[in-house]
Structure formats: structure tokens, C-alpha cells
Structure 1
């Protein structure tokens, strides 16, 4: 930051896996003096290793609230469908109330948020571990998009 000392990292960051820390640092570097970077500040070429597990969610001013703009290939596989363009509340594969709380937390706080609730994918081959929600804003006042990344672990669970 110009003229300022670096912002302190959130307390939870040290306990996160390397890829979550790397994404947070990337997001942090792109915001400069702003509270949140713009979507245009992010370069997909910088995010290539993370793209399969990334979601980009639009914050919309109507009853849909949150709409999937981009869904990574691993996320599509885990869900068993591609929810791009659809509301999170109709096409999420985890507890929808928890999903809403996570997105609401980011929109209201305008700060990154982590959810470490594990979830088993529909294909039962993947386990969602830590998920980081990173706010984006065109005007640095209102969150208009949320970049979401989930650490996933390959597992094989018995079929019940």
C-alpha cells in the first residue's frame, strides 16, 4: 500500500492450506489501497492452478441474491451438473442455509471469509475442505462479486 504499512493478515490465514494462503495473498495484492479489488484487477492467467476449484458468484439486487457466473471443472464434476447462470439457492450442493450465511457474511463485512465445514461431493470421490470467499467490488463500497475457492481432497467413501 502506498504510504502505509502492509495490512495485517487475518488471524485464520496461518491455519489455512498453502493454496488458500496463496489465493488470499493474490487477492490482497490486487486491491492496492482499496478494501476490495475489482474483478478486472484479477488475471485468470494468474489463477490457472486454481481454476478447477474456483467459483465466481454475482451478487444481484433481486430475489436470486447470488448467481453462479463461473464454475470450475472440478466443481461441476463434484455437483454432477453445471450451475453457471443459475441462483446459488437453487443449485448449490451443500446446505443451502450455510451457503447463504457464507455469502451474506462476505457481503455484509466486505471482508474475506473462510468456512472449514467438510462436505462430500455427489460423486463421493471428493471432499470439500476449507472454502475461502473473497469479495470483489467495482466501487469499493458494495460487494458485486465473490471469488470462491475450495480445497478439495480425493476420497473414496462407502456407498450407503
Structure 2
């Protein structure tokens, strides 16, 4: 599988995740040190699996500006994703199920009329190299208004 990542910040996040996992399939949350990626932290989110749902545990200021709302503590199924909610959540499920990174560009319009275009990278994290409990996610806007 070829992962297509066009944004340099997301490519750096992917390289960091790859370096942290080493020979394992995925790194754990304990392997991630925010002070090692300070230049890209504004576009980084830490997502956690809570049962069958996914919650925003940390949201960088850069992404918060792209999305336009406070997301911290909210679940993916609670936020305004227009008509793409199921597909959006499925990408996290695929990353967890297959232990693979997932990258994609998204375009949609929120209920308040705000148009969003951004590239997102989902990187699974697992304490035991098989059961994903968190995601290191990066999202960078390439056009929004």
C-alpha cells in the first residue's frame, strides 16, 4: 500500500511515527514525545478509543482554527461533519483494524456554511502492538473559509 501524503508537515509526522514504531507494527502512546515534534504540534490531535467511539483528547491550535470549533473532549460522532461522518469514522476503524496509517483529503461544508478542505493523516497507537487504543492524527488545511 502506498500512502499518499502531499503536505510536508504530515510527511514529517508520518516519518516520526515510523521511526518510533521501529520493527513493531505500530508504536505506543508512551513512545510519542510532544517535545520532539513541536514544529508540527499545532496540526496534531491525539484521539482515544472509548468503547466503540473515538474522542478528541488533544487538539492542536492549527487544526482548531481550521475546523472552527472547540473539539477537545468531544466524540467524532458529535461534531459537524456534514454528510461524511460515517466515512470519516470508518477511516479510524480501518487504521485500528488493519494497524495501518490512513491519509486522505477531505472537502465538506459544515452546517454553519463554513467550507473546509484539509488533508488528514491517522496513525494508530497500541500499547501491545495489536490493540489500538489511541491515534496520533495530523490535519492541515489547504483551503477553508
TM-score bracket, normalised by the shorter chain, equals: 0.7 to 0.9
Q: Could you say which residue in structure 2 is the equivalent of 1:3?
A: none
Larger Rg: 1
Q: Could you say which residue in structure 1 is the equivalent of 2:117?
A: 127
Change (3 A) 1:52 1:107: same
SS state at 2:94 partner: helix
Which ranges in structure 1 are unaligned for 5 or more consecutive residues?
Answer: 1-9
TM-score when normalising by structure 1: 0.77
Which structure ranks higher in relative contact order (CA pairs < 8 Å, sequence separation ≥ 6)?
A: 2
Q: Could you say which residue in structure 1 is the equivalent of 2:132?
A: 143
Kindly indicate whether residue 6 of structure 2 is the aligned counterpart of residue 12 of structure 1.
Answer: no
Kindly indicate whether residue 44 of structure 2 is the aligned counterpart of residue 54 of structure 1.
Answer: yes
Q: CA RMSD in A?
A: 2.3
State the 1:139 CA deviation: 1.0
TM-score when normalising by structure 2: 0.84
Contact in 2 for aligned 1:78/1:123 (Cα 8 Å): no
Deviations 1:59-106 (A, max 9, x none): 1225xx101101111222233321211211102545211211111111
Q: Could you say which residue in structure 2 is the equivalent of 1:82?
A: 70
- Give aligned pairs, total: 143
